[in-house]
């Protein structure tokens, strides 16, 4: 912070004369040093500051109160956006235009009364330019209360919240699915396929939970290593936690993470360059905004974002820098630089946070004006207070359902089967699909071989099935035991079969130069033709006086 002497020491004599005139000080000193000392001393006389503040017009008083509520300083870019510009003027132009008598903004009102100065001060992000209230004035003026009606946004109207989308703990089930997929080494396309079923039916979301977003949350919760592979002990512990504690574990990891960067997860934006943002600071700022939303009240999302734009636009850019981040619109390809694109970037981030992570993690309910419409309202959920304080919410923790196994080696896993059991089953199985009630897997030789490659044995699988299945078909137990001993005992193949009119034709063909293109006979008039050789075989038959049809001609 700056004292009054520091605020004024770089100003010229004409500026000091303006300050003296506006404060009613008869400036007697002839040199600038003596004039500065006289002004600094006189402006601190009892009663002078109170008289000056009382004489301020409404917009000047509002700007002064804004500084007082922010400990006497605000980033210069933010202060001038809120309270107007300060025109840059040299002594000659200032003498002609007399801006102290004709100010264009509240900033100019305070500037020519020495109630605000500008200076570079240290900040966590490095030196930044601030609007500063001299410390002598700050010490004498009380901090004003927030005026009524300063809440961010407004309550949602009935039509904006016709369809309610309550929070759920389904993210825990999706986490189990994804952890298994990552443990099995699924490629990105396969992981993306897993997440296509995670969007509830009848709900239109601009930001559905994706495999990439959830993987980031799992990493923030300490469940994945640097290569995005599940850490065995941490994963086992997480999957065995009661559901309320597991959800709280995810929220704690997310809320304290410096690596989970919501801005870069917004699908409508493209990011370029080496610039850095601070996701943790930004997340805390948005959570602070949410804390002011009345409990049990549906709140309009657009109005909430609009008020943050007006009152706290620099929430993720403390230096007020809107030019050094290289961000393009996915739709248009245009760069979104400058404060005029606040809605496209900063506003989009708030929207993404509320419709995305805060809803996925059970902190805010959403509401839409109609089915399959984009949500326009939100409220803090019944779980929000507990989750934001690091505690488990009160949700049903029972996971007591069983595997349902059919004799064709397909396994139906209801959603309330213990997550740890489904994770282990997935490592032995091929994923087929999921629906609203259950997950569907199938045991195959390929899936069993993959499990064996990870050190898992059929004995482990049989123990798992016997513990968590209602019944295990005896034929499946026998098949699994035989596979452990003998491997795969049946194969399906695609073959090209040549059928002839008589055994004599087959015998003639097998003694001709076509023999090298033939496999073993399938009977007296049929033989398998080697891949890619059918045209050669038909040509040789034609030379022998027999016309035949190829597979393309028979389709």
DSSP 211-269: HHHHHHHHHHTT-B-TTSPBPHHHHHHHHHS-HHHHHHHHHHHHHT-SS--GGGG-TTE
> Residue-wise pLDDT tens for the chain (555 aa)?
788 988 898 899 999 999 999 999 998 877 899 999 999 999 998 889 999 999 999 999 999 999 998 889 888 888 888 899 999 998 889 999 999 999 999 999 999 999 999 988 876 566 788 899 999 999 999 988 765 556 799 999 999 999 999 999 999 999 999 999 999 999 999 998 888 888 776 666 778 999 999 999 999 999 999 999 999 999 999 999 999 999 999 999 999 999 999 999 999 999 999 999 999 999 999 998 998 899 889 999 999 999 999 888 989 987 778 888 999 999 999 999 999 999 999 999 999 999 999 999 999 999 999 988 899 999 999 999 999 988 999 988 889 999 999 988 999 999 999 999 999 999 999 999 998 889 999 998 889 989 988 889 999 999 999 999 999 999 888 888 888 776 554 545 677 889 998 999 999 999 999 999 998 888 899 999 888 888 898 888 888 888 778 776 544
Place of tokens 């804390």: 291
Asked whether 460 and 479 are in contact (CB, 8 A), the reply is no
pLDDT tens for 102-131 read 999 999 999 999 999 998 887 656 678 889
Say if residues 240 and 194 touch (Cβ distance below 8 Å): no
Which of 315, 298, 304, 291 lies closest to 384 in space, CA to CA? 291
Look at residue 124 in the predicted model and tell me its pLDDT. 59
First-to-last C-alpha distance (Å) of the chain: 86
Q: Residue ranges of the domains in the chain?
A: 4-140, 158-388, 404-486, 496-554
CA distances from 478 to 225, 427, 474, 492 (A): 38, 20, 6, 21
Cα–Cα distances in angstroms (integers) from residue 207 to residues 53, 265, 288, 456, 505, in the given order: 49, 10, 22, 37, 66
Backbone angle region of 518, left / alpha / beta, with phi > 0 → left and psi within -120 to 50 → alpha = beta
Query: How far is 504 from 281, CA to CA, in rounded Å?
Result: 86
């Amino acid at each position: 912070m700056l004292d009054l002497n520091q605020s004024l020491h770089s100003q010229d004599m004409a500026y000091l004369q303006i300050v003296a005139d506006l404060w009613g000080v008869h400036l007697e000193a002839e040199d600038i040093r003596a004039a500065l000392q006289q002004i600094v001393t006189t402006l601190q006389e009892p009663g002078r500051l109170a008289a000056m503040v009382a004489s301020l017009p409404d917009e000047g008083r509002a700007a002064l109160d804004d500084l007082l509520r922010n400990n006497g300083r605000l980033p210069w870019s933010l202060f001038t956006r809120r309270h107007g510009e300060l025109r840059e003027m040299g002594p000659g132009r200032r003498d002609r235009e007399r801006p102290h008598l004709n100010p264009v903004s509240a900033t100019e009102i305070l500037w020519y009364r020495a109630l605000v100065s500008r200076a570079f001060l240290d900040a966590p992000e490095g030196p930044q330019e601030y609007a500063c209230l001299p410390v002598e004035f700050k010490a004498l003026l009380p901090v004003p209360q927030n005026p009524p009606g300063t809440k961010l946004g407004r309550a949602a109207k009935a039509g904006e919240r016709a369809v309610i989308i309550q929070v759920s703990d389904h993210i825990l089930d999706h986490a189990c699915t994804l952890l298994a997929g990552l443990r099995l080494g699924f490629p990105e396309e396969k992981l993306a396929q897993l997440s296509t079923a995670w969007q509830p039916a009848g709900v239109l979301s601009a930001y559905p939970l994706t495999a990439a977003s959830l993987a980031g949350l799992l990493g923030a919760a300490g469940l994945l290593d640097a290569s995005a592979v599940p850490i065995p002990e941490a994963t086992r512990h997480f999957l065995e936690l009661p559901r309320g504690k597991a959800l709280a574990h995810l929220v704690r990891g997310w809320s304290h993470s410096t690596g989970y960067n919501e801005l870069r997860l917004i699908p409508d934006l493209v990011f370029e360059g080496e610039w850095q943002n601070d996701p943790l600071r930004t997340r805390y700022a948005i959570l602070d905004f949410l804390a002011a939303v009345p409990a049990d009240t549906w709140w309009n999302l657009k109005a909430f974002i609009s008020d943050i734009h007006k009152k706290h636009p620099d929430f993720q850019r403390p230096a007020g820098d809107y030019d050094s981040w290289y961000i393009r619109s996915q739709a248009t390809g245009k760069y979104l630089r400058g404060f005029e694109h606040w809605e496209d970037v900063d506003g989009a981030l708030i929207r993404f946070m509320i419709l995305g992570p805060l809803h996925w993690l059970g902190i805010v309910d959403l509401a839409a004006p109609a089915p399959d419409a984009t949500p326009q309202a939100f409220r803090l959920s019944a779980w929000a207070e507990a989750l934001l304080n690091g505690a488990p919410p009160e949700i049903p923790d029972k996971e007591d359902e069983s595997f349902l196994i059919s004799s064709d080696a397909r396994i139906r896993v209801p959603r309330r089967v213990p997550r740890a059991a489904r994770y282990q089953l997935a490592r032995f199985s091929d994923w087929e699909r999921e629906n609203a009630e259950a997950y569907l897997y199938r045991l195959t030789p390929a899936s069993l071989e993959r499990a064996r490659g990870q050190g898992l044995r059929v004995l482990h699988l049989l123990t798992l099935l016997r513990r968590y299945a209602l019944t295990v078909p005896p034929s499946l137990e026998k098949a699994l035991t035989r596979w452990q001993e003998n491997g795969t005992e049946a194969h399906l193949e695609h073959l090209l079969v040549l059928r002839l009119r008589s055994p004599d034709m087959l015998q003639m063909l097998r003694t001709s130069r076509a023999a090298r293109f033939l496999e073993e006979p399938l009977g007296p008039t049929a033989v398998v033709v080697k891949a890619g050789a059918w045209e050669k075989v038909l040509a040789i038959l034609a030379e022998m006086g027999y016309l035949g049809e190829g597979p393309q001609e028979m389709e």
